A and B are shown apart, each in its own frame.
Chain A
Amino acid sequence: MTKRNIFLVILLVLVLLIPYGIFSYFSSTQSVQIEYKNTSTVEIKQLQKTGEDKIIKDIKSSGQSVRLKKNQDYFVSYKGSSGFADGKVEFKVTPDKTKVSINPYYSESKLKDLLANEQSQIQQALKEKYPGTIGQYQIQAGKLYRWGEWYGTTLKYTGPDQLNADTLRVVLKKENNTWKIATDPPDITLSKNVYPSVPEDILRDINK
């Protein structure tokens, strides 16, 4: 083969592959908009198998868009403003994932302050739902979750039946300003399969 022919073949390969490669590159990324409130520092990161997570982008203002690789997993790491918790939101870049919204939960200290005002209503809700039976249990202090609309606690048995003296767990939710039992009946452990409407992280914390 002559040098000219070799050159033509190489040129043909480049002509065929390079535009396809460029097209593949641009079609493999997607714009994702980041919206947030009540936060001070927002970063997009990618999990690394070893070492620190890789910072992809600092988000300077709510509504900023970032171009990310499709079908990749990322997370938005943020620091909450005063009274709001730090956290992260994981997401995968898919065709329907064009926006990530950050709305931090209340901080632990703020939730503790709110609990003081809710305690009596919560105990009243338990007494109304389980009159008599609840008297054999000591309702522990418990804690609020999210923006104070979820509550979980343990019930310590104080009755005479030693074969049934298990500590039980219960979760309540505040709806229309009224506390309602979300996991009925209270039980030794609460399953996400039995209570799919209760946030999983709350169940995990209560079950500890």
Chain B
Amino acid sequence: MQDNNTIRLSRLKLLVGLFFVIVFSGWAMTQISRSGETKVVVHIIPEDAQVTMNGKPASGGPLYLKPGEYTFSASKNGFKTDTQKLTVGSEAQEVGLLPEPESAEAKEWLEKNPRIQQARESYGGLNANREGQEVQNQTPILEFLPVTLVEDGPFSIDYGKTTKREKGVFLEISDSSPEGREKAISWIRDHQQDPTDLEIRYVDFVNPFSPNREYSND
């Protein structure tokens, strides 16, 4: 009797050990397959919107993506399709896909669900912060603007959002002479930014090769 109990106990221990081995192996395989990937959490409101990632069907929730550029899109009848572009690096991110209600029915649904509206506003803020950070990362000199220098100029540098490029900004150099404009460009270089990477508008310079040119966002 005692021998049977001993055998049963051994088998039980073996099964328990086997269970943990399988669980551990599964976990290890998951970690190996996810190495080099970054966690991106995709929030979708309305939740039953159809989602695509780089044109292919996708789902919301946590995704594990390799670094690169991704375009997410969410669409649903009665709503305006929302598209978000995301640059995935090594840090985890979140993105909100928030199709805007267009039909009367969709608008009524949102009005009747204030908590959903709150969540949309929260994820909208998240998107805005992310886009702002991306612009800042691409144009680090923005941190130092606007600036006006008289003794080491004269020049002023400010910036604005251009509609000619997505997430693009332009720099505007004003209050300047030819010497001031040269110093402004030197100032830009001194702040680790190459003018080649920037759309720069020289407000006080009348370009004789294009005297009627007006800067606009059209």
Task: Give per-residue flags for A1-26: 1 if the beta carbon is below 8 A from chain B beta carbons, else 0.
Answer: 11001001100110011001100100
Query: Restricting to A167-207, which residues have a CB under 8 Å from any CB of B?
Result: 168, 184-194, 200, 203-204, 207
A199 to B146, CA, bound (A): 30
Of the stretches A82-90, A141-149, A157-165, the one at the interface is A157-165
B14 CB, nearest partner CB in chain A, Å: 5
**Contact indicator B205/A207 (Cβ below 8 Å):** no
**Contact indicator A1/B165 (Cβ below 8 Å):** no
B114 contacts partner chain A, Cβ-Cβ < 8 Å = no
A159 to B168, CA, bound (A): 35
A122 to B50, CA, bound (A): 55
B4 CB, nearest partner CB in chain A, Å: 16
A91 contacts partner chain B, Cβ-Cβ < 8 Å = no
**Contact indicator B209/A16 (Cβ below 8 Å):** no
B104 contacts partner chain A, Cβ-Cβ < 8 Å = no
**Contact indicator B18/A12 (Cβ below 8 Å):** yes
A170 CB, nearest partner CB in chain B, Å: 9
Residue from the list B21, B32, B196, B200 in contact with A204, Cβ < 8 A: B196
A165 to B185, CA, bound (A): 15
**Contact indicator A1/B10 (Cβ below 8 Å):** yes
A188 to B195, CA, bound (A): 10
Most A-side CB within 10 Å, residue of B22, B165, B200, B209: B209
**Contact indicator A200/B196 (Cβ below 8 Å):** yes
A136 to B199, CA, bound (A): 26
**Contact indicator B178/A162 (Cβ below 8 Å):** yes
Residue from the list B17, B66, B182 in contact with A9, Cβ < 8 A: B17
Residue from the list A71, A136, A159 in contact with B66, Cβ < 8 A: A71
Chain A residues whose C-beta falls within 8 Å of the C-beta of B32 in the assembled complex: 20-21, 24
Q: How large is the interface on A (under 10, 10 to 19, 20 to 34, 35 or more residues)?
A: 35 or more
A1 CB, nearest partner CB in chain B, Å: 5
Task: Give per-residue flags for B131-165: 1 if the beta carbon is below 8 A from chain A beta carbons, else 0.
Answer: 00000000000000000000000000000000011
**Contact indicator B13/A1 (Cβ below 8 Å):** yes
A136 to B206, CA, bound (A): 14
A166 contacts partner chain B, Cβ-Cβ < 8 Å = yes
A133 contacts partner chain B, Cβ-Cβ < 8 Å = yes
Residue from the list A130, A184, A188, A191 in contact with B199, Cβ < 8 A: A191
Task: Give per-residue flags for B199-213: 1 if the beta carbon is below 8 A from chain A beta carbons, else 0.
Answer: 110101111111001
Chain B residues whose C-beta falls within 8 Å of the C-beta of A2 in the assembled complex: 10
A185-B213 contact, Cβ under 8 Å, with A5-B17, A71-B36, A162-B178:
yes
B198 contacts partner chain A, Cβ-Cβ < 8 Å = yes
A191 to B21, CA, bound (A): 59
A167 CB, nearest partner CB in chain B, Å: 8
**Contact indicator B18/A191 (Cβ below 8 Å):** no
Chain B residues whose C-beta falls within 8 Å of the C-beta of A207 in the assembled complex: 194-196
Given contact pairs A188-B181, A191-B197, enumerate 11 new A-B contacts (beta carbons under 8 Å): A1-B10, A17-B25, A130-B209, A159-B208, A165-B178, A166-B181, A185-B210, A186-B207, A188-B205, A189-B195, A189-B200
Give chain A's interface residues, CB within 8 Å of chain B: 1-2, 5, 8-9, 12-13, 16-17, 20-21, 24, 71, 130, 133, 136, 159, 162-166, 168, 184-194, 200, 203-204, 207
